């Protein structure tokens, strides 16, 4: 499977009569976005606001972040099984508006939506302080049931992401990157002397607002499967979860999975990237056993010499991470884990909830319990009403002047456990 | 700016009072520097001054730890210090224990920065390194000239609120504290790099060695549950409406004990959940899903269990550190035992 990804660099966002890209500026017809979202009768009102790098703007509570993309050629369309028909994606050509994002926010769904600061000392913890953001502030109809609200907000984000992505269809990209993984026999034959490497991608599937979708299938209802790496770049996987903000794998992060990106960078040089094993993080032990057994079986069947495993969330899924590590090792692969840490506010407790001796090579994406200070911002997109009950917040977190004291886990994707950021932790 | 006031703690030997035969001397204070205080004073330079030295025999401290600490606190307070330095103790075990006890006690009582120094095998290192900075020294006092400048530099940084560097940079024993920093490469790139090395059989250093957990062996099964008082303990965040003890939605620092006497079930009018790790929708409607009072009452009435404790214990499990969780458990388990509880049902979410 071969995908050409055309990257259109976006350097500003402005309101416009027509949604289009011109000389790196994304113009957005706000009304068009509002009308699209309002087609869902569960949504009472929508506001569209822009947030640019360096502005004194705080966005909260953020639900999802979607990079606008469009399929220019090849089968299927963006986010298959969610807002388009189920059809295998990942080949042909796709254009991405790199540097622009659609962000859904508004009244909280659960506890687990986070904050993005566009400037100030906490901006450095989230990649979205550096992008030009089209924020969709959603107001649900009165007394809308929580799960319906979550779904309405999620679909609105994906639809608007795809709509804005259309603006890039006929724009000449600044850069075209080609990604290709062949069927296993051919792929093995292409680089016969390089070690065969796979990526074990654990999808958040604890349920109860912790969900991820693969071609529209709720990940907790699937068994582990194999995926070509390029499928993810066309939206085969979408975020449906409200997991702790710091390690939320937003839809943006699925589209731009850093492990896939970095494995491709060394593909054909130091390793032979065979593909992605998708698995889940269900809460029942039987599910954990079944899924990790199947992961181990895939590792053996594909003859992988090495795997990287990432998780989404912390605590309960640490057990899945460790079971996958153990069984992949037993199946003959060298294993590297990527995850984040929660050793308590004093940094002195165990960082993980589970451990196996095989987990001897781990990359840390930082300590999510560190308390930081958020100065007041001139403008809030969304609302700060829920800060004290959001993950990372606590009684007294929000002060009258709009400043906040909270753990960095309240910041969207601050310690994301797939290695997207440079944040790490070391022993003092 | 006036100089920072330093109080220095040393033992009988370093004070020149005498060796083992003088290890039983009680606490005493002397103005200014004594013994190794001279080197410390030089290392502190112009910014700080040793205003007093507290001396105590190691045996005396070991045998009268509690009272010795209190006695010395009074002596130390008279000097109104900004900084407390203990040792170096090198490989002297009793002295290391005294330095660690005194330093952590003074830090807690007076809220001032403290530092000590010890050899890695001094038992004081393992006892106190998590709670304070202990400069790493060689085995004997021959290393004094190396150790003292590091102590001075570190304690001045602490006193001025400056950022303290890593153990390697500052020379202190690794404390086991996870501290954030920005790496030059992102995590995924580091991960791929480590994997390539690992597959090639090269050395690759993990960024986080696996932790050790304090596993508790379960007790034997309850012989006759029909005679036993049972309590409900939950990490599901169920609290009375309004969350009177302000238990956090995540990373809990406290737990609550709430009365259920006379209730046949948990009413949604009276109870709620503050837990931030799961979808609360169903539990908000019916708190018995997490604290199953309704079913437990039935079992109590049917005689399936001996009796139900008239309260439940609750906290939020999500993100709560192992250290806090262990502390809660050790604390409320005493109450459960005192109240004659013979079995506990733990519900998690």
Q: What is the pLDDT of residues A73-129, one digit of tens each?
A: 999 999 999 999 999 999 999 999 999 999 999 988 877 899 999 999 999 999 999
Q: Do A426 and B179 touch (CB under 8 A)?
A: yes
**Yes or no, beta carbons of B177 and A363 under 8 Å apart:** no
Last residue of a domain, one of B136, B170, B204: B170
Write b or e for each residue in A199-227: b if 16 or more Cβ atoms lie within 10 A of its Cβ, otherwise e: bbbbbbbbbbbbbbbbbeeebbebebeeb
ipTM greater than 0.95, yes or no? yes
- Most A CBs within 10 A among B187, B236, B278, hence the mutation to make, goes to B187
A355 touches chain B (CB under 8 A): yes
At B45, list the tokens: 């330079």
Contact (CB<8Å) B198/A338: no
Q: Does A125 touch chain B (CB under 8 A)?
A: no
- Closest C-alpha to A198, from A141, A263, A246, A140: A263
3-state secondary structure of B263: coil
Residue B179 lies in a domain: no
Q: Do A427 and B177 lie within an 8 Å CB cutoff?
A: yes
Query: Which pLDDT belongs to residue A42?
Result: 97
Q: Is A357 on the interface with B (CB under 8 A)?
A: yes
| Model pLDDT, residue A421 | 98
**What average pLDDT score do residues B322-332 get?**
93
**Domain presence at residue B97:** yes
For the entire predicted model, the pTM comes to 0.90
How many angstroms separate the CA atoms of A287 and B222, rounded?
29
Q: Kindly report the number of other CB atoms within 10 A of residue B244's CB atom.
A: 10
Closest-CA residue of A relative to B194 is A336
Position A242 scores a pLDDT of 75
User: Mind telling me how many Å the CA of A268 is from chain B's nearest CA?
Assistant: 12
Question: Which has the closest alpha carbon to A411: A204, A205, A240, A248?
Answer: A248
Cα-flanking dihedrals φ and ψ of residue B239, to 5°?
-140, 160
User: Is residue A268 within 8 angstroms of chain B, CB to CB?
Assistant: no
Cα distance between residue A15 and residue A18, in whole Å? 9
Give how far B172 is from chain A: nearest CA, Å: 9
The DSSP bridge pattern shows strands A196-203 and A306-310 to be parallel
Would you say residue B134 lies in a domain?
yes
Q: Do B319 and A124 touch (CB under 8 A)?
A: no
> Has residue B171 got a pLDDT over 80?
yes
**Do B74 and B142 belong to one domain?**
yes
- State the Rg of chain B over Cα: 27
Residue B268 has pLDDT above 90, yes or no: yes
Give a yes or no: residue B303 inside a domain. yes
pLDDT tens sequence across B55-75 = 999 999 999 999 999 999 999
Task: Retrieve residue A197's tokens.
Answer: 């490497």
Q: Residue B136 falls within a domain, yes or no? A: yes
Nearest to B206 among A346, A360, A369 (CB): A360
Every domain of chain A and the residues it spans: 2-410
Q: Among B170, B191, B209, where does a domain finish?
A: B170
Q: Which of B123, B147, B170 is the last residue of a domain?
A: B170
**Nearest CB to B185 within list A259, A357, A422:** A422
Query: Which chain B residues touch A334 with a CB distance below 8 Å?
Result: 195, 198-199
Residue B125 lies in a domain: yes
CA dihedral A106, A107, A110, A115 (to 10 degrees): 50
**Residue B152 and residue B245 in one domain:** no
pLDDT recorded at residue B279:
82
B270: closest CA among B281, B259, B278? B259
pLDDT at residue A109 in the model:
82
The whole domain housing B327 covers 225-347
Residues of chain A positioned with their CB less than 8 A from the CB of B206:
360-362
Give the residue ranges of DSSP H helices in B161-259.
167-170, 187-199
A356, closest residue in chain B (CA to CA): B210
Bridge partners of B145?
none
Residue B342 lies in a domain: yes
* Active site residues per annotation of A: 242
Residues of chain A with pLDDT under 50: none
Please say whether the beta carbons of A146 and A209 come within 8 A: yes
Is the Cβ pair B207, A364 closer than 8 Å? yes
| Closest residue to B195, CB basis, from A306, A351, A421 | A306
- Residue A326 forms contact with B (CB below 8 Å): no
Asked if the Cβ–Cβ distance from A421 to B276 is below 8 Å, we say no
pLDDT, tens digit (0-9, with 9 covering 90-100), for A202-251: 999 998 788 999 999 999 999 999 999 999 999 999 999 777 899 999 99
Paired tokens of A361: 């090579």
Which among A195, A208, A315 has the least Cβ separation from residue B279?
A208
Identify whether the C-beta of residue B290 lies closer than 8 Å to the C-beta of residue B238: yes
Using a CB–CB cutoff of 8 Å, tell me whether A147 touches chain B.
yes
CA distance, residue B139 to nearest chain A CA (Å): 22
A348–B167 CB contact, under 8 Å? no
pLDDT at B1 over 70: no
How many structural domains does chain B have?
A: 2
Q: Which of A238, A240, A235, A239 is nearest to A208 (CA)?
A: A240
Q: Which residues contact B182 (CB under 8 A, 6 or more apart)?
A: A124, A422, A423, A424
- pLDDT at res. B303: 96
> Would residue B150 count as lying in a domain?
yes
A148, A285, A350: best mutation site toward chain B, by most B Cβ within 10 Å? A350
Q: Report the residue count for chain A.
A: 428
Of A197, A369, A421, the CB nearest to B195: A197
Predicted confidence at residue B77, as pLDDT, reads 96
Chain A CB contacts of B211 below 8 Å:
350-352, 355
State the DSSP code for B307.
E
Residues of B in contact with A207 (CB under 8 A): 279
């Amino acid at each position: 499977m071969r995908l050409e990804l055309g990257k259109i660099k976006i350097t500003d966002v402005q309101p416009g009569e027509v949604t289009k890209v011109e000389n790196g500026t994304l113009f957005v017809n706000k009304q068009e976005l509002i009308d699209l979202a309002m087609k869902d009768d569960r949504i009472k009102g929508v506001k569209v606001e822009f947030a640019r790098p360096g502005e004194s703007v705080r966005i909260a509570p953020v639900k999802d972040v979607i990079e606008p993309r469009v399929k220019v050629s090849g089968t299927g369309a963006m986010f298959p099984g969610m807002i388009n028909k189920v059809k295998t994606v990942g080949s042909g050509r796709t254009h991405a508006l790199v540097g622009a994002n659609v962000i859904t926010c508004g009244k909280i769904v659960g506890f687990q939506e986070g904050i993005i600061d566009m400037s100030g000392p906490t901006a450095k913890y989230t990649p979205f302080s550096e992008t030009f953001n089209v924020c969709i502030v959603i107001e649900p109809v009165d007394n809308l049931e929580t799960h319906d609200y979550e779904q309405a907000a999620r679909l609105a984000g994906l639809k608007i992401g795809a709509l804005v992505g259309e603006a890039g269809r006929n724009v000449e990209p600044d850069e075209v990157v080609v990604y290709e993984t062949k069927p296993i026999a051919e792929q093995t034959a292409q680089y016969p002397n390089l070690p065969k490497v796979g990526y074990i991608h654990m999808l958040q599937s604890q349920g109860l607002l912790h969900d991820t979708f693969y071609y529209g299938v709720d990940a907790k209802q699937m068994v582990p499967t194999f995926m070509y790496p390029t499928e993810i770049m066309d939206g085969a996987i979408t975020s449906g979860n409200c997991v702790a903000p710091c390690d939320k794998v937003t839809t943006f992060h699925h589209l731009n999975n850093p492990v896939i990106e970095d494995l491709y960078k060394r593909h054909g040089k130091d390793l032979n990237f065979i593909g992605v094993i998708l698995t889940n993080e269900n809460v029942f032990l039987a599910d954990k056993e079944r899924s990790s057994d199947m992961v181990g079986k895939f590792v053996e069947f594909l003859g992988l010499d090495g795997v990287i495993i990432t998780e989404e969330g912390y605590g309960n899924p640490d057990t899945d991470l460790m079971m996958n590590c153990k069984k992949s090792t037993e199946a003959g692969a060298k294993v590297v884990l990527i995850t984040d840490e929660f050793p308590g506010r004093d940094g002195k407790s165990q960082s993980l909830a589970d451990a196996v001796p095989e987990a001897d090579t781990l990359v840390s994406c930082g300590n999510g319990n560190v308390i930081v200070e958020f100065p007041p911002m001139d403008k809030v997109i969304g609302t700060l009403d829920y800060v004290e009950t959001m993950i990372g917040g606590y009684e007294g977190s929000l002060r009258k002047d709009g400043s906040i004291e909270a753990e960095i886990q309240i910041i969207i994707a601050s310690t994301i456990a797939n290695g997207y950021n440079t944040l790490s932790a070391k022993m003092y | 700016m006036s100089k920072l006031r330093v109080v220095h703690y040393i033992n009988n030997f370093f004070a020149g009072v005498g060796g083992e035969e003088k290890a039983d001397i009680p606490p005493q204070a002397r103005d200014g520097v004594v013994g190794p205080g001279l080197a410390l004073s030089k290392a502190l330079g112009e910014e700080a001054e040793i205003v007093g030295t507290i001396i105590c025999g190691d045996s005396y401290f070991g045998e009268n730890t509690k009272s010795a600490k209190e006695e010395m606190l009074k002596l130390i307070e008279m000097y109104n210090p900004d900084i407390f330095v203990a040792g170096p103790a090198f490989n002297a075990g009793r002295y290391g224990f005294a330095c660690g006890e005194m330093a952590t006690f003074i830090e807690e009582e007076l809220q001032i920065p403290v530092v000590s120094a010890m050899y890695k095998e001094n038992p004081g290192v393992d006892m106190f390194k998590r709670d304070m900075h202990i400069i790493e020294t060689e085995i004997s006092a021959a290393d004094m000239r190396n150790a003292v400048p590091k102590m001075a530099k570190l304690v001045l940084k602490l006193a001025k609120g400056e950022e303290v560097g890593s153990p390697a940079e500052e020379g202190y024993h690794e404390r086991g504290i996870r501290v954030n920093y920005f790496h030059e490469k992102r995590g995924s790139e580091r991960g791929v790099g480590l994997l390539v090395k690992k597959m090639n059989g090269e050395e690759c250093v993990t960024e986080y060695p696996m932790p050790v957990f304090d596993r508790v062996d379960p007790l034997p099964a309850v012989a006759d549950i029909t005679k036993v008082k049972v309590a409900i303990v939950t990490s599901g965040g169920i609290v009375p409406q309004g969350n009177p003890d302000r238990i956090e939605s995540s990373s809990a620092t406290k737990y609550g004990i709430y009365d259920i006497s006379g209730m046949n079930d948990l009413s949604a009018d009276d109870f709620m959940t503050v837990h931030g790790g799961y979808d609360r929708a169903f539990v908000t409607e019916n708190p018995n899903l997490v604290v199953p009072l309704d079913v437990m009452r039935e079992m109590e009435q049917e005689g399936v269990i001996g009796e139900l404790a008239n309260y439940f214990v609750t906290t939020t499990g999500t993100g709560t550190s192992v250290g806090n969780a262990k502390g809660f458990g050790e604390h409320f388990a005493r109450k459960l035992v005192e109240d004659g509880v013979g079995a506990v049902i733990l519900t998690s979410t």
